[in-house]
Amino acid sequence: MSEIKVMNYIDGEFCEASGGQRIEDIGPVDGKIIATIPRSGADDVLRAVQSAKSAQKNWSALTLEERADWLHKIADKMQENIEEIARLESLDTGKPWDVALNVDASRSVNNFRFFADFSKNIDDLKFEMDDASNYVLRKPLGLVGLISPWNLPLYLLSWKIAPALLMGNAIIAKPSELTPLTAWYLCTILDKVGLPAGLVNILHGYGPEVGQAIVENQSIQGISFTGGTQTGKIVAATAAPMFKKLSLELGGKNATIVTDDIDIEFVAKEVARASFLNSGQICLCGSRILVQSSIYENFKEALIKAVNDFKIGPVISKEHKEKVLSYIELAQQEGGKILTGGDISESEGFYINPTLVEGLAIDSRCATEEIFGPVATLHSFDEDADAIDFANITDYGLAGSVWCRDESRATEIAEQIESGMVWINTWLHRDLRVPFGGVKASGVGREGGMWSVGFFSEAINICVKH
Ligand code: TXE
């Protein structure tokens, strides 16, 4: 198969980076080049900003309903091409085709549909006083910078693009250089539906180059960033002194708590999925499994079987594979015992078998640092209070899950976990209206439903004296 030549999409045109350089995109399944992408920089960002400024003026003059109609048009065209979206996502990330179709592609379509429909929920805010009336306008920010990671490429990019457009903004976006294909394919869809030129500009390249140029551009009023905590610190340090609105969805080291009253076989399968879906490359994955001591041995046996039965794809890159393998090595140095996995499937791709480690101290590096791959650590706890302490021991606070038949006991535990989201007797069950985001080193701000509406607009109050 010949390499795909990904182009930037600026001012409604497919173009090279101004410097003419390109970067290779390597496929995780066999380590071969699948595409090349433009190596964009500040000049490309300037061209996109110029185009976005004029496009945004006309776009913000449309009504909310007219913009919602455009989101439906985009969703319809994506749905028509959903198998191609899944094929490209699977090619770029190595994830199994059915995961790319049922998780990534269908959710990407749904992101546009959801925010189009959600526009009907955006009520006019009024606050009456004895002698005056207040009403709130939701004005667009203007130009927004959207920066997204490689684990759920179009799923997370569309999660930002849809509400940003709905609220009247123009976009300068940068997908991860490791997974450019579906962002580029989305541009061909926007082109086909005739979205006004300059409204969505997608530039490819390295984070410290074109990503940094987006974050530091004076004309871009808000940044929605999803990625690692270390990068989040750099983005925040650049944007904060410029008083840009900032939404940071960062890393996680989520706890899965299993109490002694559950159905062991059923929960073991669910917990294996929560730890290893997308090869553990979802920031919401449960990478620390805390099991009540009275059922630990029986649950461990069931979990090992469930993990061995759970088929996964490769991790995203050779470098990431080496990073994950270094943590498996570290786990053994820290006194951990590999219960299953730990070796590499014999293939030229970036495969690592799903790996379970027990016997690590709860504050060991492997049990507190984000690995972001198919590795989970197993720990036992005696009392619920111990499980809560263990869950809260890391710097992160993104998500978690509690598997406990007694719902009042489960909510008691869940409400004491220091994270942005907790699932009870389920995982990754998503209502797009709810707030999504983390606390502590997992980020700042929330997106989803009204939180996305709020982030991608400025609330302006008008007070009229009677
Ligand atoms: O992140 P990186 P990755 C986290 C996940 C993991 C990481 C994986 O926990 O830690 O993301 O994604 C660009 N200025 N989440 O490795 O390296 C870079 O090019 C501007 C959490 O891709 O941080 C890429 O496009 N941009 C999340 C993007 O930032 C820069 C869900 C992310 O890259 C930059 C998914 C710079 N200086 C993954 N340097 C959640 N909480 O929802 C890099 N980039």
CATH number belonging to domain 4-250+442-465: 3.40.605.10
Give the HSE-up count for residue 363: Cα atoms under 13 Å, Cβ half-sphere. 3
At position 284, the amino acid (one-letter code) is L
Domains 4-250+442-465 and 254-431 are alike in CATH topology? no
| Three-class DSSP category at 226 | strand
List 286's β-bridge partners, or say none.
Answer: 254
Could you say which of 3.90.1720.10, 3.30.2130.10, 3.40.50.300, 3.40.309.10 is the CATH number of the domain covering 254-431? 3.40.309.10
Backbone angles phi, psi at 94, to 5 degrees: 85, -5
> Long-range contacts of range 445-453, CB-CB < 8 Å, 24 or more positions apart?
445/246, 445/247, 445/248, 446/247, 446/420, 447/159, 447/160, 447/163, 447/224, 447/247, 447/249, 449/118, 449/121, 450/121, 450/122, 452/115, 452/163, 453/118, 453/122, 453/138, 453/163, 453/166, 453/167
pLDDT of residue 9: 98
pLDDT of residue 344: 85
Query: How high is the mean pLDDT in each 10-residue block of the chain (466 residues)?
Result: 94 98 97 97 98 98 98 98 98 95 97 98 96 98 98 98 98 98 98 98 98 98 98 98 98 98 98 97 98 98 97 95 97 98 83 97 98 98 98 98 98 98 98 98 98 98 98
pLDDT of residue 347: 75
CA of 21 to the centre of ligand 1 (A): 23
Could you tell me the CA-to-CA distances from 242 to 207, 222, 337 in Å, in that order? 19, 10, 48
Residues lining ligand 1, judged by CB closer than 6 Å? 147-151, 174-177, 207-208, 211-212, 215, 226-228, 231, 234-235, 249-252, 283, 370, 372, 398, 438, 443
Which ligand 1 atom sits closest to the C-alpha of 252?
Answer: 9
CB 410 within 8 A of CB 366: no
| Three-class DSSP category at 143 | strand
Active-site residue, 334 included: no
Task: Give residue limits of the domains in the chain.
Answer: 4-250+442-465, 254-431
Considering only CA atoms, which residue is closest to atom 35 of ligand 1?
283
Active-site residue, 463 included: no
pLDDT of residue 349: 92
Considering only CA atoms, which residue is closest to atom 42 of ligand 1?
249
| Catalytic choice (177, 249, 358, 447) | 249
**Residue reference for tokens 């907790």:** 422
Distance, in Å, from the CA atom of 361 to the CA atom of 336, rounded to the nearest integer, reads 8
CA of 190 to the centre of ligand 1 (A): 25
Strand order in the sheet with 375-381: 337-340, 355-358, 375-381, 286-292, 254-258, 400-403, 423-424
| Catalytic choice (89, 177, 270, 283) | 283
Which ligand 1 atom sits closest to the C-alpha of 149?
Answer: 22
Task: Report the predicted TM-score, pTM, of the whole model to 2 decimal places.
Answer: 0.97
